[in-house]
Structure 1
């Protein structure tokens, strides 16, 4: 798979010094905010990446995120001396793991692992081996295998010693992953039945960097190059109205992932579905949104999108990005999030720089909602950009509000989340929460698995299918 290169920009926000060094802002009660400088670089297409990444699985601190249109990263380091990394943020998993420079994947080409960076144990004086139980399998048969180890982990000016992570000595994923989900979803728990270790959110609480095990994420709109992650706090300038709190749904007898109940779906003023009780997964690690086949088909009909069965792609005219239409997702009342159609229209370009066209001559774009088949229903980045989401692991709750795309750093209003129940500022608890009746994985089974066939079909057929003027096969990339 080739890579589409995106221009590089460096941003420095608020208290960043001229040399890019980070500073920590201290507030009353020693509330802390860590702000990171940003850069934008190259990214693979989101469809292929989603198909590869989704696994089969038996005070306040702020980190700024890179919006690569399809992936969200932030900068960190492992080891002494520090080995720099750009980690893909993932609420749908719970382990930090990184590639090693000596793996067959990273040695396969000079740029294979350049985006995220690599870690070499022998170059760090503080590396400690734990075991060789790290093993993540993927639905397409690929995997990441290697060791669990500990080392010094740093982002911003936060340093964590003896932090546990996985090293991928055998891997087919080019991105280092920072999973910040439930500890019960860690690889060593799901695969080996071992006790959870302290992953990043849990360790930040244990080290008293934050007051409760909760964090909020704001991805901003589709054209933004940045977003933010706040451990232990919320920024009320980044959402509109009040947050609405709904319960996380159990997988079997335990809380493992951020499944919440979706109750309805509208396209504009038309109701597509209501009285639902469908479990959907909030997952920053998925670039796209995956709905039940019948719902996806109804959405396509409402917005003039087309599903191409052969290539397994949803295509929409690019001029739909100019529409004011919305898709509204409903949850336990009064929670709902409206997604403007422009947030779901993803430009594509061929390897030679051409934009594919539909038969009527209009430019073709990728549509950000796909059918889930038999896999989990996932609300990925094409949904999450329109939502401000608080992930409250301590209380097994999620709070949502409509994203404020007009938020500016100068208007930031960071508030710490207190420990205990009902401590979230400006939040309304859904009075009659709906329990999910479908969509949850079988306990101990795959939580997030897309249909197997999706993992073998890439974007190579799209030009042939939708443009009669095109000849042969070309790779298409989202930009």
Structure 2
């Protein structure tokens, strides 16, 4: 593989470490790897976050990167002197967005934004105002508005001057977001029809920190405190077998989001669907996986889960986590990802620490696949934990392999992705890719009825679940 021609190539590796400290990796040749620790924080009510915070996918910014067990975040800073932030990564949006201490949400409670941090423009000597057209609309009617600005952005050993981001003076979320999707999905593009600016992946390429606009994500299993995001490269120790490359599907006439074609679904040895050509969205910012109603119902029947219409919850006996069964998602051959059932069984507890019970006395857990209704079909964190995914914006491709849950930092094998086509190490290109025939948004964003309206809502889910447990949910 040909290395980037600049004298020093930087692969930006954001890797999870439980101590949350920045470490210096080894150097090989003229390649420098910047390793930044990510941390993992439990959320109290993640499903509700999904229900409240998802915005219209017409170019507006999503809220948080979390799954049913945790929030995924890393530390960064904006401004001079640096103002420390805890940011959530999101492949489904494309803007960096932060709260200001005086925002409507942060002022609603003395500690509402203490953990995630806030940004004060007047406290930075390098702040520059752009305009006041940063505007996020949510399906539930809530919104966030504020300014676009530029300032110095730092994470790990990387420092980027004049980096564009949004400031939320009115908001409904305490979490800062770092969207790393297609520039065409930026707020100013879809809302105002402006040209895209250089968001983080694009800027890292422009500043010659990476050789191509691509990154890989490994979330590891449901109980792990490890995972990584690697800009410009892959870690071959974090997946099994070879990566399989499939094309991203266009939304209208352009590439905006990471839709790929799902062709089949198995539950254990039983085929639930085949010969499909369904567009599904890979979205790390969505806690759950959302499938067409009929597919979700078939999965429930196969794994002994139940959908409760009144409470809009999928419930499964917690002891199903002991099963060796798996759900297999098929894409353009030979791409497929198997998700073990234990990765889909999500424990919940009440405020007093008790677990809700089913009528037969068994503990009740949440099941990580929900029906999508009329909205977009989404493969969220309950799927993505089992997959190693390469998001190749430069070539409009996604590559998938089975996650290696046994990967250790000491055994990492980071390889740069070269510029151009077919530069991904040890990847097999799907020889006969299937084009999606259904499931794509009608216009530039997903339908406003998307199940992602469940995304990032600070749910009263635990209270709902406990109070409903004795009433058949």
Provide TM-score, normalisation by structure 1: 0.89
Is the contact between residue 291 and residue 372 of structure 2 (CA under 8 Å) also seen in structure 1? yes
Shifted more, 13-22 versus 258-267: the winner is: 13-22
Higher relative contact order (CA 8 A, sep 6+): 2
Shift in alpha-carbon separation, 1:294–1:403, aligned structure 2, 3 A: same
Shift in alpha-carbon separation, 1:176–1:355, aligned structure 2, 3 A: same
C-alpha deviation, 1:205, in angstroms: 0.1
CA distance in 2, matches of 1:28, 1:16: 21
The unaligned stretches of length 5 or more in structure 1 are: 474-479
C-alpha deviation, 1:40, in angstroms: 3.9
Give CA-to-partner distance per residue, 1:72-104, whole Å, 9 cap, x none: 211111111111111111000000000111011
Shift in alpha-carbon separation, 1:7–1:302, aligned structure 2, 3 A: farther
CA distance in 1, matches of 2:453, 2:75: 34
Is the contact between residue 45 and residue 70 of structure 1 (CA under 8 Å) also seen in structure 2? no
Is the contact between residue 65 and residue 227 of structure 1 (CA under 8 Å) also seen in structure 2? no
Shift in alpha-carbon separation, 1:259–1:253, aligned structure 2, 3 A: same
Is the contact between residue 249 and residue 259 of structure 1 (CA under 8 Å) also seen in structure 2? yes
Say which SS state the counterpart of residue 205 (structure 1) adopts. Answer: helix
Shifted more, 346-355 versus 458-467: the winner is: 458-467
C-alpha deviation, 1:355, in angstroms: 0.7
Give CA-to-partner distance per residue, 1:424-458, whole Å, 9 cap, x none: 00000000000000000012343574259869998
C-alpha deviation, 1:117, in angstroms: 1.2
Is the contact between residue 324 and residue 341 of structure 2 (CA under 8 Å) also seen in structure 1? yes
C-alpha deviation, 1:52, in angstroms: 2.4
CA distance in 2, matches of 1:229, 1:136: 26
Is the contact between residue 286 and residue 456 of structure 2 (CA under 8 Å) also seen in structure 1? no
Aligned to 1:387: 387
CA distance in 2, matches of 1:70, 1:224: 10
Is the contact between residue 59 and residue 208 of structure 1 (CA under 8 Å) also seen in structure 2? no
Aligned to 1:374: 374
Is the contact between residue 31 and residue 59 of structure 1 (CA under 8 Å) also seen in structure 2? no
C-alpha deviation, 1:15, in angstroms: 11
Is the contact between residue 60 and residue 416 of structure 1 (CA under 8 Å) also seen in structure 2? no
Give CA-to-partner distance per residue, 1:109-160, whole Å, 9 cap, x none: 1221123211111111111000001001111111111000000001101000
Shifted more, 43-52 versus 1-10: the winner is: 1-10
CA distance in 2, matches of 1:184, 1:382: 26
C-alpha deviation, 1:7, in angstroms: 43
Shift in alpha-carbon separation, 1:25–1:67, aligned structure 2, 3 A: farther
Aligned to 1:477: none
Say which SS state the counterpart of residue 141 (structure 1) adopts. Answer: coil
CA distance in 2, matches of 1:176, 1:2: 37
Shift in alpha-carbon separation, 1:454–1:231, aligned structure 2, 3 A: closer
C-alpha deviation, 1:32, in angstroms: 2.8
C-alpha deviation, 1:370, in angstroms: 0.4
Aligned to 2:437: 437
C-alpha deviation, 1:169, in angstroms: 0.3
Say which SS state the counterpart of residue 52 (structure 2) adopts. Answer: helix
The unaligned stretches of length 5 or more in structure 2 are: none
- State how many pairs are aligned: 473
Is the contact between residue 97 and residue 178 of structure 2 (CA under 8 Å) also seen in structure 1? yes
Shift in alpha-carbon separation, 1:30–1:67, aligned structure 2, 3 A: farther
C-alpha deviation, 1:29, in angstroms: 5.7
Shift in alpha-carbon separation, 1:274–1:68, aligned structure 2, 3 A: closer
Is the contact between residue 16 and residue 23 of structure 1 (CA under 8 Å) also seen in structure 2? no
C-alpha deviation, 1:316, in angstroms: 0.5
Shift in alpha-carbon separation, 1:48–1:462, aligned structure 2, 3 A: closer
C-alpha deviation, 1:45, in angstroms: 1.8
Give CA-to-partner distance per residue, 1:441-477, whole Å, 9 cap, x none: 012343574259869998658777777885999xxxx
Say which SS state the counterpart of residue 73 (structure 1) adopts. Answer: strand
Is the contact between residue 317 and residue 363 of structure 1 (CA under 8 Å) also seen in structure 2? yes
Shift in alpha-carbon separation, 1:209–1:218, aligned structure 2, 3 A: same
Shifted more, 131-140 versus 111-120: the winner is: 111-120
Shifted more, 45-54 versus 35-44: the winner is: 35-44
CA distance in 2, matches of 1:8, 1:347: 46
Is the contact between residue 464 and residue 470 of structure 1 (CA under 8 Å) also seen in structure 2? no
C-alpha deviation, 1:53, in angstroms: 3.0
Shift in alpha-carbon separation, 1:169–1:401, aligned structure 2, 3 A: same
Equivalent residues in 2 for 1:162-173, closer than 5 Å: 162-173=162-173
CA distance in 1, matches of 2:32, 2:5: 35
Shifted more, 138-147 versus 383-392: the winner is: 138-147
Give CA-to-partner distance per residue, 1:2-26, whole Å, 9 cap, x none: 9999999999999999997634446
Shift in alpha-carbon separation, 1:357–1:208, aligned structure 2, 3 A: same
C-alpha deviation, 1:352, in angstroms: 1.6
Shift in alpha-carbon separation, 1:4–1:118, aligned structure 2, 3 A: farther
C-alpha deviation, 1:27, in angstroms: 3.9
Equivalent residues in 2 for 1:220-235, closer than 5 Å: 220-235=220-235
Shift in alpha-carbon separation, 1:111–1:7, aligned structure 2, 3 A: farther
CA distance in 1, matches of 2:309, 2:432: 39
